[in-house]
């Protein structure tokens, strides 16, 4: 199964998820995109930058010093919808970024995305 | 400060008139950043005193005369953050009674006599606007809970800034110190292009024992929260419950 098939499967299972992106956080490169209407490259680059800012920043270090586990997930909610970011310890350089509508089922999205990311990492 | 707030057409008691009265009251609340007691007085000499800070009604400090106050026992001198539904309905009824037949309101703004306002959450102007709209409880629907109030209720600790000045905080000193440190970190920098409407950035708790970090921005109001054991879906439900982004 190709990476894009995994990303497509997330969108199929979670209808309010409009786009799924796999990004390399160390090189800031978009590796794969699944979307009915592909967002412009600037939008994808901005998404990657947000993932880096939220998942790989000094905030994690401050939380770690306070005894908290550094975050593997992050979300941004706005009137336009939700951006959801996640990564897995087995694939620490890469992150899934999802663009969703405001009524997305986050429980289902997280379950699907973590499962698919684990399969991508194991391939 | 004493100001006159004009109402609707002479002698016409209808919903349009009370709407006309509500708008300037809402404007006074929306322009009040530092803690103040806003005391509204109508043509009949009735008075309604509100403790307002950071554009939020924190408390109804006085309703005069006593006969009017007696009709709304759930309101005066009670915190407004908990059990908001029945209190909001009572507040709407109080305003409707207060505005009825009134052509002109006066308002005075003074320093509040009580200092215990920073731990109160209260009601923001967004919530009050929805309360007053056709979709409010008067139309038979419970109002969606104000996002800031919902997050304050759920949080173990929070700090609220208005125009970079702290206007509310709650929680143990260690958590407040942590929030102060986190406020300056890169992840909590304001998202680019997020100037329209509220934006909420969330780092969910990794497990039941962890803490979720939530950063809410809305205009010049910023609030940081620590929520014990809150995962992504649970925080998303709070956001979705506020109704922002729908319709």
Written as one string, the DSSP assignment of chain A is: --HHHHHHHHHHHSTTEEEEEEEETTTTEEEEEEESSPPPHHHHHHHHHHHHHHHSSHHHHHHHHTTPPPPSEEEEEETTEEEEEEEETTEEEEEEEEEE-TT--HHHHHHHHHHHHHHHHH-
d(CA B45, CA B41): 6
Q: How many CA atoms lie within 13 A of B206 on its CB side?
A: 14
Residue B84: predicted pLDDT: 61
pLDDT in tens, A16-48: 999 999 999 999 999 999 998 999 999 999 999
* Beta-carbon separation of B178 and A84 below 8 A: no
pLDDT in tens, B6-63: 544 433 334 445 667 788 888 888 888 888 899 999 988 999 999 888 788 888 888 9
d(CA B207, CA B83): 29
Residues 6+ apart with CB under 8 A from B127: B88, B143, B145, B146, B149
CB of A24 less than 8 A from some CB of B: no
**CB contact at 8 A, A82 and A76:** yes
Could you identify the residue written with the tokens 């207060």? Answer: B98
| CA triple B15-B21-B24, angle to 5 deg | 140
CA distance A31 to chain B (A): 23
CA distance A57 to chain B (A): 6
Residue B143 confidence class, pLDDT cut points 50, 70, 90: very low
* Beta-carbon separation of B201 and A66 below 8 A: no
d(CA B91, CA B146): 15
**CB contact at 8 A, B239 and A77:** yes
Residue B236: predicted pLDDT: 92
| CA triple B28-B29-B35, angle to 5 deg | 110
Residue B131 confidence class, pLDDT cut points 50, 70, 90: confident
d(CA B20, CA B37): 22
Could you identify the residue written with the tokens 């698919």? Answer: A116
**CB contact at 8 A, B242 and B144:** yes
Taking the model in full, what pTM does it have?
0.68
Name the token pair of B226: 């620590």
Q: Tell me what ipTM this predicted complex has.
A: 0.93
* H/E run at residue B79: none
CA distance B119 to chain A (A): 24
CA-wise closest residue to A99 among A17, A15, A9: A17
Could you identify the residue written with the tokens 């509508």? Answer: A101
């Amino acid at each position: 199964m190709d990476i894009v098939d995994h990303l497509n499967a997330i969108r199929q299972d979670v209808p309010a998820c409009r786009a799924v992106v796999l990004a390399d956080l160390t090189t800031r490169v978009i590796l794969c995109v699944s979307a009915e209407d592909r967002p412009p490259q600037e939008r994808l680059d901005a998404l990657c930058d947000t993932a880096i800012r939220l998942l790989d920043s000094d905030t994690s270090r401050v939380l770690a010093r306070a005894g908290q586990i550094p975050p593997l997930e992050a979300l941004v909610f706005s009137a336009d919808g939700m951006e959801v970011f996640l990564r897995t310890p087995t694939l620490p350089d890469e992150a899934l970024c999802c663009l969703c509508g405001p009524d997305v089922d986050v429980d289902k999205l997280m379950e699907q995305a973590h499962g698919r990311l684990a399969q991508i990492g194991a391939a | 400060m004493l100001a006159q707030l004009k109402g609707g057409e002479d002698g016409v008691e209808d919903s349009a008139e009370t709407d006309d009265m509500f708008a300037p009251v809402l404007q006074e609340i929306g322009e009040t950043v530092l803690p103040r007691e806003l005391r509204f007085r109508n043509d009949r000499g009735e008075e309604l005193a509100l403790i307002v800070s950071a554009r939020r009604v924190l408390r109804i400090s006085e309703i005069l005369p006593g006969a009017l106050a007696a009709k709304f026992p759930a309101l005066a001198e009670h915190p407004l953050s908990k059990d908001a539904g029945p209190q909001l309905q009572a507040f709407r009824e109080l305003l409707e009674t207060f505005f009825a037949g009134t052509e002109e309101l006066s308002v005075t703004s003074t320093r509040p006599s009580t200092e215990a306002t920073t731990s109160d959450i209260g009601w923001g102007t967004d919530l009050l606007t929805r309360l007053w709209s056709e979709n409010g409880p008067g139309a038979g629907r419970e109002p969606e809970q104000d996002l800031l109030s919902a997050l304050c209720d759920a949080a173990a600790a929070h700090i609220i800034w208005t125009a970079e000045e702290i206007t509310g905080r709650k929680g143990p000193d260690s958590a407040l110190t942590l929030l102060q440190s986190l406020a300056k970190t890169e992840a909590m920098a304001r998202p680019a292009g997020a100037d329209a409407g509220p934006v909420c950035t969330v780092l969910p708790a990794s497990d039941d024992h962890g803490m979720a970090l939530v950063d809410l921005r809305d205009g010049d109001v910023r609030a940081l929260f620590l929520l014990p054991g809150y995962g992504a879906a649970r925080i998303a439900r709070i956001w979705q419950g506020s109704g922002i982004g729908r319709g």
